[in-house]
Amino acid sequence: MILSPSRPQLIAILFRRLQATMGPQNWWPAASAFEVILGAYLTQNTAWTNVELAMENLRRAQTLTPQAILQMEISKLEELVRPAGYFRQKAERLKLFAAHLETRHGGSLRRMFAQPTGQLRAELLALKGIGPETADSILLYAAQHEVFVVDTYTRRIFERHGLSRAGDAYEGIRLAVEEAFAAGLGTAEKPGELGVTLEIHPPSAASRLPRSAKSHDYNEFHALLVQTAKHFCLKKEARCEECPLREFLPSGKAKL
């Protein structure tokens, strides 16, 4: 009798399969930790392509530092981030973050990030406009803390594979992944051929920042799930026959 893998085992299996078929994702595409933070704010309720347009505006204006954001006229910042949508709201929140960083940490991200994970997470969540996903994106990709990020792509794949249910709390899913990684990931699979070419960002300065092995694995797993959801596990069309995770779908489970 072949036993089905437990929830932690299946999470580890999915990670290893995606890792073997897609390889390193080089996420987050940014030149600095502060650019990661800007992107984490700007990507709320919009596509990453729109974020890239706003980031390019900020880059051309040479305003990709906390000090520049803090000193800039709000009307100018609004115009620069307009491509990302909700530009007035996002400009206000970026200024609030820059002001908080200056007041609380003397403008130093290094000082801010040196706090214990739980303390820093609570501080971020207390800021206007930062929910769990944005906080964890900053913790993982900018501060290199060992925190997994749960987004709509993660939820979609997990629900279709029986790892979570619609409406499950964010924290429950995050902790399930972190517990699975703590239990061990098993043996890595040998790299295989995916059969399609996926667009992957080239390595960036942010993706090369020093991080622990666990932080690296959380980084890769989240990015791999995003790629899977964008190319195979689409919202309105599940391309299961092409997906590297097809064999792990629950028996008889509907594809949509």
Tell me the per-residue pLDDT of 40-65, one tens digit each, with 9 for 90 and over.
Answer: 999 999 999 999 999 999 999 999 99
Confidence of residue 206 (pLDDT cuts 50, 70, 90): very high
Percentage of the chain beyond pLDDT 90 is 84
Q: How far apart are the first and last CA of the chain?
A: 29
Q: What is the pLDDT at residue 194? A: 64
Residue 146, CB-side half-sphere exposure with 13 Å CA sphere: 11
CATH class of 33-142: mainly alpha
Mean residue pLDDT of the chain comes to 93
CA angle 84, 88, 93 (to 5 degrees): 90
Listed in order, the ranges of the chain carrying CATH 1.10.340.30 are: 33-142
- Whether domain 7-27+149-188+201-248 has CATH 1.10.1670.10: the reply is yes
Q: Is 62 exposed, middle or buried (0-12, 13-18, 19+ CB in 10 A)?
A: exposed
**CA atoms of 77 and 90, how far apart (whole Å):** 9
pTM: 0.93
Return the pLDDT at 254. 45
Q: What are the start and end residues of each CATH 1.10.1670.10 domain in the chain?
A: 7-27+149-188+201-248
Write out pLDDT tens, residues 123-166. 999 999 999 999 999 999 999 999 999 999 999 999 999 999 99
pLDDT at 195: 61
How far apart are the C-alpha atoms of 15 and 8, rounded to whole Å? 11
Element (H, E) at 10: helix 7-22
